[in-house]
């Protein structure tokens, strides 16, 4: 345990109270109230009888008003570090910034199960609930003790005004920045607003800041402290050890030929674990592409394992079912034992008995590898972490990382920002050297990367980190021999250009090697698997033993309820979070073959910004429908991904984009027997666009799209003959015209934000807005209001609109009822 600001070698009472500044080494900003009892909250609210790690010292520092920086691996209870002090405070509210809506929803749901007063303010928050939250923040002492918010929302001038009012009333307790590594790792690419969080300290210099992350090198830690402007005088920093001694790290070397032998090897590995335990085990297999997830899961199921794929191309209700069954599985009593997933899986998942993590493909960063393997063995029992490594795959990932760096560099130049660091490139280089190494203990390599000074030649020191819990320490000779199965450096050199050319982005924004797709293992499907020849390269001389990736990466071409605690933070009943609706364009069927790749189409990289959880749909990653849709005979065809960066010399130009201002005039996609009565005339409602500060899409284009969506909604559910049948379906047949107009405006607002979230260029935005208008126009067709099981996928877009419509109507009914009460 490393305490950078002080070594706290004395005992503290269970009640977090003051201790002398000289013994602490940092200065608190305030003295805690006598009612602050963090241990009671920990015990009575969360059910834990003991502190974990340095939680006790962190609680004390937080209630004394220090800036707190916590670096701790998954499973160490980081969330409690800010939740417990926030609940224990006798008044006021803590603002929690989180980068992903999925994480926010998970934590809010768990806190409400423990009867904690908590709320979240994001793009998914219904207008009526948002109104309640803002009212709570504006009057007296807030009822909510924690408010989860995205960095984009925090940075708006309107919210800053609200925080100023809270501050003036003495009700702003602290700012919490969760997943703080986003500041350094994803600052330009994932959450640019994280870089703006330092403005909080500039505006409120006396309000404490707490930052938490699971993985950050010393350099990244310094960057986080600097970006948030955390005070050196008031800073209490805790860096937990990065070593996970219960995890067994193993690299499986192979020469890439086809996925068949690798899938068979994975089956044999998992089946062997099950035999040794005399029952199934719970696990995750990470794959880079959706297609690999589907194929591998189908293969494992054919061989008798309980497996399911999990990625953004699968219907949301199927994903929910898979997650529930996986959380129940792994014990021989049914459920799903293994999920084959992209990295979209695992965020916010709290399952302690994951016995193995397998990487089918190479991750893009050392931090990514560390975080994903960290989801195994959270109960402290021994667990396996297996990485399949080939030099062919290393070439593909090198290209991706280089392209990402070049894109960030171009973006920085165009906006006159400082150039991005090469940390992503360096992180991948370290991961490749980690995989290539057969002499250094894997645990030592991990801890060295995160800044721990370890003498690898000191046997006793190494044993304190790894008691034969990696392949290098347990089977050193076997590991050296297995490494010879890698394709030689000389051969790789001749294949580099081809491998780079065959690498393209898939639907989730990852690289896919263009190999001919087929179902593996057909020859052995009905019989026992024979001995595996996995990983055997063509006959050749053993490759020279040398450090791989010692040379710098070459630049790649850039293509254009257990609670006796009754403190003020708890409640006995609370409306649960609204369930998100939506579906995907893909069924995720495991029996379907991957389409053959057309080698005549040149490959090119695709740029996609991560959009996890930003839209009001569960799965906001569908390719949009064409704008004109026939209700009687719907045929879904993907439009060109106009927001993706292709080499304009290689790819034909996309079809002309239709003028978005004319979308509302196309009525030929609605059943003729129910025509609109007259052109839509909109009421003068004032609606503010979500994330209106964003410069990604021109504001005038967003306003035009919003108006088009709103007009289409107005025609479909207000102005059209027979609309009462629609309002009966949402149980609002007696609602006033004003209420209906307000709902229409709110639906249009959320639909436009969904379009904005999924787009990175104006052309892509226009196409998606066009598809959304087409989906809205299908609302008069009552078939789209039927249950999903009653029809195919052709009406998915319209059903997602129906889902948003129903959700906001339900919220409006609940809001009206609570007002009446």
Local confidence band at 653 (pLDDT 50, 70, 90 cut-offs): very low
Query: Is pLDDT at 664 greater than 60 in this prediction?
Result: no
Q: Which residue has the higher pLDDT, 600 or 78?
A: 78
pTM over 0.85: no
What separation in angstroms does the CA of 446 have from each of 244, 390, 465, 479?
A: 10, 20, 10, 18
Query: What number of residues does the chain have?
Result: 821
DSSP secondary structure string, 552-569? PPPPPPPP--------TT
**Under 8 Å between Cβ of 757 and 123:** yes
| Residue 448: how many other CB atoms lie within 10 Å | 18
Local confidence band at 660 (pLDDT 50, 70, 90 cut-offs): very low
CB-based contacts of 329: which residues, under 8 Å, 6+ apart? Answer: 280, 282, 306, 335, 336, 337
How far is it, in rounded angstroms, from Cα 741 to Cα 732? 12
Report, as an integer, the average pLDDT of 662-671. 36
CATH 3.40.50.300 placement within the chain = 2-239, 247-513
Triad 50, 56, 61: Cα angle to 5°: 165
Tokens found for residue 105 = 């929803």
The reported pLDDT for the residue numbered 742 is 84
The reported pLDDT for the residue numbered 735 is 81
Q: Which residue has the higher pLDDT, 633 or 772?
A: 772
Sheet holding 354-359, edge to edge: 247-253, 383-389, 354-359, 282-286, 338-341, 307-310
Query: Is pLDDT at 466 greater than 50 in this prediction?
Result: yes
**For residues 449-487, b (16+ Cβ closer than 10 Å) or e, as one string?**
bbbbebeeeeeeebeebbeebbbbbeeeeebeebbbbbb
Local confidence band at 681 (pLDDT 50, 70, 90 cut-offs): low
487 by DSSP, 3-state: which? coil
Q: How many CA atoms lie within 13 A of 216 on its CB side?
A: 29
**Under 8 Å between Cβ of 620 and 611:** yes
Report, as an integer, the average pLDDT of 231-257. 92
> Rg of the Cα trace of the chain?
28
The reported pLDDT for the residue numbered 430 is 93
Report, as an integer, the average pLDDT of 685-711. 80
The reported pLDDT for the residue numbered 629 is 37
Tokens found for residue 251 = 């690299």
**Under 8 Å between Cβ of 781 and 791:** no
- Choosing among 1.10.10.350, 3.60.40.10, 3.30.365.10, 3.40.50.300, the CATH entry for 247-513 is 3.40.50.300
Local confidence band at 100 (pLDDT 50, 70, 90 cut-offs): confident
**Under 8 Å between Cβ of 224 and 69:** yes
How far is it, in rounded angstroms, from Cα 175 to Cα 111? 18
Q: In 278-312, which ranges are continuous DSSP H helix?
A: 290-302
The reported pLDDT for the residue numbered 105 is 78
How far is it, in rounded angstroms, from Cα 784 to Cα 803? 10
Sole residue written with tokens 């920085």:
412
Query: Is pLDDT at 707 greater than 80 in this prediction?
Result: yes
The reported pLDDT for the residue numbered 75 is 74
Query: Is pLDDT at 124 greater than 70 in this prediction?
Result: yes
What class, spelled out in words, does domain 2-239 have in CATH? Answer: alpha beta
Longest dimension (CA), the chain: 84
How far is it, in rounded angstroms, from Cα 83 to Cα 577? 18
The two beta strands, 511-513 and 209-213, are: unpaired
| Residue 811: how many other CB atoms lie within 10 Å | 20
pLDDT tens sequence across 592-640: 443 333 323 333 333 333 333 333 333 333 444 433 333 333 333 333 3
Q: Which residue has the higher pLDDT, 257 or 632?
A: 257
Mean pLDDT of the residues in the chain: 74
> What percent of the chain clears pLDDT 90, i.e. is strictly above it?
31
How far is it, in rounded angstroms, from Cα 177 to Cα 223? 14
DSSP secondary structure string, 605-616? -------TT-SS
The reported pLDDT for the residue numbered 344 is 63
**Under 8 Å between Cβ of 104 and 122:** yes
Lowest mean pLDDT of 312-321, 600-609, 792-801, name the range: 600-609
Tokens found for residue 17 = 């109270």
Cα 104 from chain centre: 11
How far is it, in rounded angstroms, from Cα 681 to Cα 143? 41
Query: Is pLDDT at 35 greater than 70 in this prediction?
Result: no
**For residues 573-607, b (16+ Cβ closer than 10 Å) or e, as one string?**
eeeebbebbbbbbbebebeeebeebeeeeebbbbb
Report, as an integer, the average pLDDT of 700-704. 89
**Under 8 Å between Cβ of 5 and 67:** no
The reported pLDDT for the residue numbered 120 is 93
The reported pLDDT for the residue numbered 262 is 93
């Amino acid at each position: 345990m490393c305490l950078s600001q002080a070594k706290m070698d004395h005992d503290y009472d269970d009640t977090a109270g003051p201790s002398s500044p000289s013994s602490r080494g940092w200065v608190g900003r305030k003295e805690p109230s006598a009612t602050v009892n963090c241990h009671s909250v920990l015990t009575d609210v969360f059910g834990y009888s003991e502190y974990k790690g340095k939680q006790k010292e962190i609680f004390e520092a937080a209630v004394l008003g220090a800036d707190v920086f916590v670096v701790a691996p998954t499973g160490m209870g980081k969330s409690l570090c800010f939740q417990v002090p926030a609940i224990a405070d006798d008044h006021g509210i803590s603002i929690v910034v989180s980068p992903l809506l999925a994480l926010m929803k998970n934590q809010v749901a768990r806190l409400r199960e423990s009867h904690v007063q908590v709320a979240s303010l994001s793009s998914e928050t219904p207008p009526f609930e948002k109104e309640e939250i803002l009212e709570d923040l504006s009057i007296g002492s807030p009822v909510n003790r924690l408010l989860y918010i995205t960095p984009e929302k925090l940075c708006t001038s309107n919210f800053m005004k609200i925080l100023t009012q809270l501050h003036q009333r003495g009700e702003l307790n602290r700012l919490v920045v969760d997943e703080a590594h986003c500041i350094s790792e994803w600052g330009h690419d994932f959450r640019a607003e994280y870089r703006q969080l330092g403005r909080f300290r500039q505006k409120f210099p006396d309000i404490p800041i707490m930052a938490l992350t699971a993985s950050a090198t010393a350099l990244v830690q310094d960057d986080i402290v600097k970006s948030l402007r955390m005070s050196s005088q008031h800073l209490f920093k805790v860096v937990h050890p990065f070593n996970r001694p219960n995890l067994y790290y193993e690299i499986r070397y192979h020469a890439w030929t086809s996925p068949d032998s690798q899938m068979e090897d994975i089956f044999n590995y998992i089946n062997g674990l099950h035999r040794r335990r005399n029952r199934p085990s719970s696990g995750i297999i990470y794959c880079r592409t959706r297609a690999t997830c589907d194929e591998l899961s189908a293969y494992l199921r054919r061989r008798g394992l309980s497996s399911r794929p999990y990625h953004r191309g699968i219907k949301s209700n199927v994903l929910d079912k898979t997650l529930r069954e996986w959380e129940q599985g792994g014990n021989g009593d049914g459920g799903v034992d293994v999920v084959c997933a992209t990295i979209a899986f695992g965020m916010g998942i709290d399952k302690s008995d994951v016995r193995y993590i397998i990487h089918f493909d190479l991750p893009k960063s050392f931090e990514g590898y560390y975080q994903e393997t960290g989801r195994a063995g959270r109960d402290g029992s021994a667990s396996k972490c297996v990485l399949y490594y080939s030099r062919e795959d290393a070439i593909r990932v090198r290209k991706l990382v280089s392209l990402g760096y070049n894109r960030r560099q171009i973006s920085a130049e165009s906006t006159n920002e400082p150039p991005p660091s090469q940390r992503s490139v360096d992180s991948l280089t370290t991961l490749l050297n980690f995989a290539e190494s057969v002499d250094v203990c894997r645990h030592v390599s991990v801890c060295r990367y995160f800044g721990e000074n370890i003498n690898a030649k000191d046997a006793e020191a190494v044993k304190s980190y790894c008691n034969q819990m990696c392949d290098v320490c347990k089977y050193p000779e076997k590991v050296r021999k297995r490494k010879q199965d890698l394709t030689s450096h000389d051969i790789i050199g001749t294949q580099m250009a081809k491998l780079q050319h065959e690498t393209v982005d898939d639907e989730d924004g990852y690289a896919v090697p263009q190999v001919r797709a087929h179902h593996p293992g057909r020859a052995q499907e009905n019989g026992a698997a024979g001995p595996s020849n996995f990983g055997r390269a063509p006959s050749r001389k053993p490759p020279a033993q040398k450090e791989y990736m010692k040379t710098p990466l070459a630049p790649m071409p850039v293509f254009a309820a257990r609670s006796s605690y009754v403190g003020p933070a708890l409640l006995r009943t609370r409306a649960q979070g609204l369930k998100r609706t939506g579906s995907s364009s893909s069924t995720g069927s495991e029996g379907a073959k991957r389409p053959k790749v057309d080698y005549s189409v040149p490959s090119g990289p695709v740029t996609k910004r991560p959009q996890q959880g930003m839209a009001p749909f569960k799965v906001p990653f569908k390719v949009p429908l064409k704008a004109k849709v026939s209700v009687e005979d719907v045929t879904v065809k993907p439009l060109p991904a106009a927001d993706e960066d292709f080499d304009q010399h290689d790819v034909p130009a996309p079809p002309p984009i239709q003028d978005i201002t004319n979308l509302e005039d196309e009525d030929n996609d609605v059943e003729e027997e129910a025509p609109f009565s007259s052109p839509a005339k909109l009421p003068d409602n004032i609606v503010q666009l979500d994330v209106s500060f964003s410069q990604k899409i021109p504001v005038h284009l967003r306003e035009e799209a919003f108006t088009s969506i709103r007009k289409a909604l107005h025609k479909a559910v207000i102005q059209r003959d027979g609309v009462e049948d629609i309002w009966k379906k949402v149980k609002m047949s007696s609602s006033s015209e004003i209420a209906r107009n307000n709902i229409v405006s709110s639906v249009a607002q959320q639909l436009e934000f969904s379009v904005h979230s999924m787009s990175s260029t104006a052309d892509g935005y226009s196409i998606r807005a066009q598809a959304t208008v087409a989906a809205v126009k299908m609302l008069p067709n009552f078939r789209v209001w039927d249950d999903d099981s009653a029809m195919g996928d052709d009406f998915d877009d319209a059903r997602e609109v129906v889902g948003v419509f129903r959700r906001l109507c339900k919220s409006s009914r609940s809001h009206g009822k609570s007002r009446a009460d």
